[in-house]
């Protein structure tokens, strides 16, 4: 990670640590640790976003002119590392990491003035309307249609696997506005008020028991033309830019490495076969593998962040990072279930909504639900197979 010698990294690290010591509520940390979802309860992240925004750190990767920090890559890395060490809850990515950068690059000044301050202050919760029942990995085949009617579009269709739609105020969505030319050439990018007449949300419960995703139905929903980002039929360009940020933003490797280190301590206290679980050569070998994989991911993310700082784009380098993140999350959650043993069995209420005392140690309660939830990490946002196609064609030139 390149260092800017105008910035004292240790002084900045101490500044971040002091902020976390004084401003991070222990209740938020505890709630995050109990969570089994890849995206925890949005209200947890929302409260943390408000705290960050009051400090001026609500969207560190945005340009300073829009409320960002203009930090160097080294500062971003230090901040993410210290947040991981403190177990800060992740902020919902849909606002600061996804629609925010899109509005900064493609939005009109009135759209930026309307939405960006509310994203920073966590006043609006966002969700992403991309996938449909017949359009997931092949996103260009989407069918949700927007027909121009004066100053509005009339939108009809459905979106599925929509994370946080049940608590969202707004959705950024891809809609079909033309059937002419290639499928990608007839797509537009709209901002849809989730309180609009004709919008309904149906929950989808995941195998781990979490209500994280939904199906959204759009029945002749009127959306002002003023809510279109970019030109009509040019939404594919906007969508590709957003996907770079979805797939490449953040530094998950630091959190996974910390999770492995915590798991090592927990496993050292668990008995197995008359000894400690960490004395089992097979388990120990997989634990070392997980730590190495997390370190590899950490290096990949640091390189991607430095490249983004240099070029202003995340680009196709997001694909290998996304594949590795999914693999590491699955490995870590699998090892956690193995360490929890029988205590991982009563996982039917992963969020702790029961009057019964937990069975076994607190850390074991969400282990199985987190493991099951993590099965989706190599599917959503573009499956691992799709990402490998991108790597083969656009990075390796095969």
Catalytic residue positions, numbered: 246
For residue 168, the SS3 value is coil
Number of H helices, E strands in the chain: 12, 10
The region that residue 309 occupies, defined by phi over 0 for left and psi between -120 and 50 for alpha, beta otherwise, is: alpha
Phi, psi (rounded to 5 degrees) for 276: -90, 150
DSSP letter for each residue of 276-288 = EGGG-HHHHHHHH
Helix (H) or strand (E) holding 113: helix 109-120
3-state SS assignment for residue 225 = helix
| Residue 147 host element (H or E) | strand 145-149
* Contacts of residue 322, Cβ cutoff 8 Å, sequence gap at least 6: 247, 248, 381, 382, 384, 387
Q: Which residues pair with 159 in a beta bridge?
A: 216
Which of 312, 90, 110, 91 lies closest to 191, judged by CA?
A: 110
Distances (CA, A) of 315 to 37, 177, 234, 389: 27, 27, 19, 15
183 neighbors 144 (Cβ within 8 angstroms): no
CA distance 379 to 146: 28
């Amino acid at each position: 990670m390149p260092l800017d010698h105008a910035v004292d990294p240790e002084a900045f690290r101490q500044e971040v640590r002091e902020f976390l010591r004084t401003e991070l509520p222990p209740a938020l940390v505890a709630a995050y640790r109990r969570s089994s979802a890849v995206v925890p309860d949005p209200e947890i992240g929302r409260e943390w976003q408000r705290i960050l925004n009051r400090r001026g750190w609500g969207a560190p990767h945005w340009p300073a002119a829009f409320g960002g920090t203009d930090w160097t890559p080294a500062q971003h890395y230090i901040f993410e590392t210290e947040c991981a060490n403190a177990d800060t809850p992740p902020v919902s990515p849909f606002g600061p990491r996804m629609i925010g950068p899109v509005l900064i690059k493609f939005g009109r000044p009135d759209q930026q003035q309307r939405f960006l301050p509310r994203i920073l202050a966590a006043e609006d919760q966002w969700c992403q309307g991309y996938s449909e029942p017949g359009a997931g990995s092949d996103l260009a085949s989407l069918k949700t249609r927007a027909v121009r009617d004066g100053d509005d579009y009339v939108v009809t269709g459905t979106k599925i696997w929509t994370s946080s739609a049940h608590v969202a105020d707004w959705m950024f969505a891809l809609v079909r506005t033309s059937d002419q030319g290639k499928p990608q050439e007839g797509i537009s990018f709209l901002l849809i008020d989730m309180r609009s007449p004709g919008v309904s949300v149906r929950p989808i419960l995941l195998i781990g028991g979490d209500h994280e995703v939904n199906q959204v139905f759009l029945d002749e929903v009127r959306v002002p033309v003023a809510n279109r980002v970019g030109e009509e039929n040019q939404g594919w360009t906007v969508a590709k830019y957003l996907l770079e940020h979805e797939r490449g933003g953040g530094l998950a490797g630091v959190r996974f490495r910390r999770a492995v280190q915590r798991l090592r301590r927990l496993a050292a206290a668990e008995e197995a076969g008359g000894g400690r679980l960490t004395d089992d050569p097979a388990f120990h070998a997989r634990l070392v593998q997980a730590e190495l994989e997390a370190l590899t991911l950490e290096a990949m993310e640091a390189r991607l962040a430095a490249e983004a700082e240099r070029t202003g784009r995340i680009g196709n380098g997001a694909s290998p990072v996304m594949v590795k993140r999914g693999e590491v999350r699955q490995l870590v959650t699998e090892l956690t279930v193995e360490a929890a043993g029988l205590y991982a069995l009563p996982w039917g209420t992963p969020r702790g909504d029961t009057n019964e005392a937990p069975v076994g140690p607190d850390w074991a309660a969400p282990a199985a639900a987190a493991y099951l939830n993590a099965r989706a990490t190599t599917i959503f946002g573009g499956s691992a197979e799709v990402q490998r196609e991108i790597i083969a064609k656009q990075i390796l030139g095969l």
